[in-house]
Structure 1
Amino acid sequence: MPPYMKPRERLAKERFPNYFNAFRPQAYQDPSASRALPFLNPQQTEKTGEAPIVGVRTISWNPLSTLVATGSSDRSVRVWNPDKPSVRQSTDLKGHAAPIERVAFNPAKDAELCSLSTDGVLRIWDVRSKACSNEVKDLGEARTMAWSPDGEFLLVGNRENKLFVINRAQSTPVEVKLQPSRANDMAFCWSGKKVFVAYADGRVRILSFPELEPVLRVNYDGAEGESTEFTLKGHSAECLSIALSPTGHTLATGGTDAVIALWDTSKWVCQRTITTMAGPVRTLSFSWDGNYIVGGSTEGTELEVAQTESGEHVHTFKTSQAVPVVAWAPTRYFFAYTELGSLRIVGVDTDRKY
């Protein structure tokens, strides 16, 4: 099901700049996560052609927007209270032996967090007790991860073109399927019956879950031996990121071509594209109401917020360097991103009195 939305006033496009100009970005500084490690030289190039991210590499909000988790290149997983930016008020989850590729809160359990490291180890944590409730190993060179909406399963993709279906309570994968290309990112539909997967060959496949079989077929005959699977083809190069709006009406995809494509999920046509990105679109995130979208990139020093329905530019967040990771909170107008290797959040007022 879609994330729970408490009744609240939506922020009109005209009010957006003034609203966020009233807040300064709040830094959540973890000194250890900001240090570049010897094996993560920023000048070193990954297989994707981009330098690795040093410091915070991934961000996830819990379902109630009361906690935000970060995973870093120093192998640390940390959980923050947005109202308390001091590192002493955060929770450090230790145990990984390699840089963290993804963190993701269980969408159905506000205190359960999953972390995935580049050495193919997945861990599930209870952030209240700091206990690791499950560990899955041997997932290869892990690339991406997503929870099913019911919070019972995870889907993991690695650089060897494999997808793993994982039960949160089991230490071995339920299913392993070889894919035609490397999966860079994935997003479930809100029913959990389909998953949208962005691939290195530029396509987006729509697969059934947990079978991981094509859902849609074209209704015409192609060339002999040509697949009849229907896929989304909105990028001239690699498709890096994908996100489904909270309303379920729009699917966003981002590529190395610096384009964000917005797809109508009822007709599966590209309604519009956003071309204001300075470089490859590494991450995508919708606001809690689905009204706004923002992308993160390894190039440029501005974060451009656009209105989902029109694709029009709404606001620019100025940054001191490129911001590859962005994440709107699921129930509030809190906007989290990485800068200078650390977490930043705009919209939270840590000085307010209760």
Structure 2
Amino acid sequence: MATYVEEMHKHFQNFGKTQEYTAHASKVHSVAWSCDGRKLASGSFDKTVSVFVLDKDRLSRDHHIYRGHGDSVDQLCWHPSHPDLFVTASGDKSIRIWDARSNKCVASVATKGENINICWSPDGHTIAVGNKEDLVTFIDARSHRIKAEEQFKYEVNEISWNNDSDLFFLTNGHGCINILSYPELKPLQTLNAHPANCICIEFDPTGKYFATGSADALVSLWNVDELVCVKTFSRLDWPVRTLSFSHDGKMLASASEDLVIDIAYVETGEKITDVQCESPTFTVAWHPKRPLLAFACDDKYDRDRDAGTVKLFGLPSEPQNTSRGS
């Protein structure tokens, strides 16, 4: 009987082509799937968001473009249970909530600084956004009013709730993971995770693990209940910028300035496969129901090729999509 690693390795041998879709006029900063897996959104330096529709084994040739931000869209995320709502963080000192059904902005909330990271609580009630001055703002997702602001004295890199929405995690510039109670925002614990800048954090869908990526080029895997590091992944050579767990929690994709995305089996750390890239990769996202990985690369090495493109790994091959949408 084939092991999971063998099965997935064989799967990617058959579905291992990377497809490219032109989504923006310049660098893509963030990609994310809707909770039902029907839509893929991307945010860009060009101040816009693009949303593609996935129909069976094909991504739509046309895509909707969402305009309104006055500066770069640095990060976006979807509502955890509503497949048409997503939120964007921008350098224009605002966040915007969008409804994909109407192609319109539902709400715009002014914030105090240039926003660089954003997350939606798993219970759907709250949006947290962090800015360049290490201020995290908590916004009621229904009333669109600011509920709390927390100024941190250390460099905040990425933010996330745990799957139960009762703990709030931050990665910081000292290599630590800071854990706060939520909604009280009381400091509970500081984990010394890495000897270098702790950049990104991701929780697996099953609630068993979370992973962090660091400037030391390591990915560390943590047991959620015991808050202990159970494994490290060390196949990359450059700072780990982005992470994503597969829908079943069994695969972990990690990417950096290495020209490869590493895909590992979570339980053992074994390499399942890798995705060859022509430029550094700063955003990856597994589909919420199938082994399909979306990602976007920097365009500084090959501007003509990588500027504004979203890439998919794990679909049957098809001709390159060159549509710029409507």
Report the CA distance between 1:72 and its aligned residue: 0.5
Counterpart Cα distance in 2 of 1:105 and 1:70: 11
Encode CA deviations 1:22-74: one digit per residue, 9 max, x unaligned: 222121112xx244xxxxxxxxxxxxxxxxxxx11101110011111000010
Q: Does 1:308 align with 2:266?
A: yes
What is the aligned counterpart of 2:14 among 4, 17, 22? 22
Higher strand share: 2
Q: Which amino acid aligns with 1:117?
A: S
Residues matched between the structures, number: 305
Moved over 6 A (4+): none
Q: Does 1:71 align with 2:29?
A: no
Report Cα offsets for 1:82-107 as digits up to 9, x if no partner.
345455x2111110110111111100
- Percentage identity across paired residues of the two chains: 30
Deviation string 1:132-159 (CA, Å, 9 cap, x unpaired) is 1111113302121110112121011112
Equivalent position to 1:343, from 301, 310, 317:
310
Q: Which of 288, 292, 301 matches 1:330?
A: 288
Matches within 5 A, 1:127-206: 127-206=100-179
Q: Do 1:134 and 1:169's aligned partners in 2 also have CA atoms closer than 8 Å?
A: no
Per the alignment, residue 112 of structure 1 pairs with: 85
Q: TM-score, normalised by structure 1?
A: 0.82
| Distance (Å, rounded) in 2 between the aligned partners of 1:209 and 1:120 | 24
Deviation at residue 180 of structure 1 after TM alignment: 2.4
Post-superposition CA distance 1:160-212 (Å, at most 9, x none): 12111101233441101111212211221111111211112221111112221
CA deviation after TM superposition for structure 1 residue 302, in Å:
1.1
CA contact (8 A) 2:175 2:193 kept: yes
- With the length of structure 2 as denominator, give the TM-score of the two structures: 0.89
Matched, 1:12 2:4: yes
Task: Give the aligned residue type for 1:26.
Answer: Q
Q: 1:281 aligns with which of 240, 263, 267?
A: 240
- Identify unmatched segments of 5+ residues in structure 1: 1-9, 36-54, 216-229
**In the alignment, which of 290, 313, 337 is matched to residue 249 of structure 2?**
290
Q: Do the aligned residues in 2 keep the contact of 1:155 with 1:165 (CA within 8 Å)?
A: yes
1:318 to 268, 273, 276: 276
Rounded to whole Å, the distance in 1 between the matches of 2:69 and 2:225 is 41
In the alignment, what sits opposite 1:82? 54
CA distance in 2 between partners of 1:183 and 1:120 (Å): 17
Deviations 1:1-33 (A, max 9, x none): xxxxxxxxx981012222112222121112xx2
**RMSD over aligned Cα, in angstroms?**
1.7
SS at match of 2:102: coil
Residue 350 of structure 1, CA deviation: 7.2
Question: What is the distance in 1 between the residues matched to 2:59 and 2:37?
Answer: 15
Question: Residues 283 and 325 of structure 1 are in contact (CA less than 8 Å); yes or no, is this contact kept in structure 2?
Answer: yes
Q: Distance in 1 between matches of 2:96 and 2:143?
A: 11
Partner SS for 1:102: strand
Rate the CA distance shift 1:349–1:81 in 2: closer, same or farther, 3 A: farther
Q: Could you tell me how far 1:284 is from its partner in structure 2?
A: 0.7
Q: Aligned to 2:97, which of 90, 104, 124?
A: 124
Encode CA deviations 1:256-299: one digit per residue, 9 max, x unaligned.
111101111122111111111121111110000110101121x1
Aligned residue in 1 for 2:181: 208
Cα deviations across residues 285-334 of structure 1 (Å, max 9, x unaligned)?
Answer: 0000110101121x121111111111122211112222121111111111
Separation of aligned partners in 2, 1:21 and 1:107: 31
